[in-house]
Amino acid sequence: MTNGLQVAVLTVSDTRTLENDTSGQFLCDALTADGHSVAARHIEIDDMYKLRAIVSSWIADEAIEVILTTGGTGFTTRDSTPEALSVLFDVDITGFGELFRQLSFEDIGTSTVQSRAFAGIANNTVIFCMPGSTGACRTAWEGILKTQLDIEHRPCNFAELIRKGSH
């Protein structure tokens, strides 16, 4: 894979640390194995305003091209990632959540309806938000992100879209 992207990884959790953040670590390992770079990594509690602040700063950073988040996409009272971040989007990528749930159905059946995986673009930064389990991150990476962040993938990919929109 050529032309790797600069990717920021955010884990949304009240309990994870760098030592036990298997989902965030999986994403970092997978993206670097495919030739991308980890531009930033952060773990933050599920607080709507803290999440917005972090992601807003990454959206404003011209060096960050992609943001991957894991966690906070369920239906508990502590899950606020969709409410926190979707308001920052210039455009929604509705197909990401739809395809994620289709792929996830193969693994977890109807429980996938409780996933609010979603994605969007803000300031030429592509943002993909996944559930907090390592399995969900693996499903998203292997089934969608690996190819969509590869500039060589045809007929289209987000890497090419980002690079065309850059200054």
CATH number at residue 54: 3.40.980.10
Q: Which residues contact 160 (CB under 8 A, 6 or more apart)?
A: 151
Query: Element (H or E) spanning 9, and its range?
Result: strand 6-12
pLDDT tens per residue across span 111-155:
999 999 999 999 999 999 999 999 999 999 999 999 999 999 999
User: Domain range holding 103?
Assistant: 6-165
Top pLDDT among 60 and 163 is at 60
pLDDT-derived band at 75, boundaries 50, 70, 90: confident
In the prediction, which pLDDT does 1 show? 46
Domain membership of residue 1 (yes or no) is: no
Domain membership of residue 29 (yes or no) is: yes
In this structure, the number of other CB atoms found within 10 A of the CB of residue 32 comes to: 13
Specify the number of domains making up the chain.
1
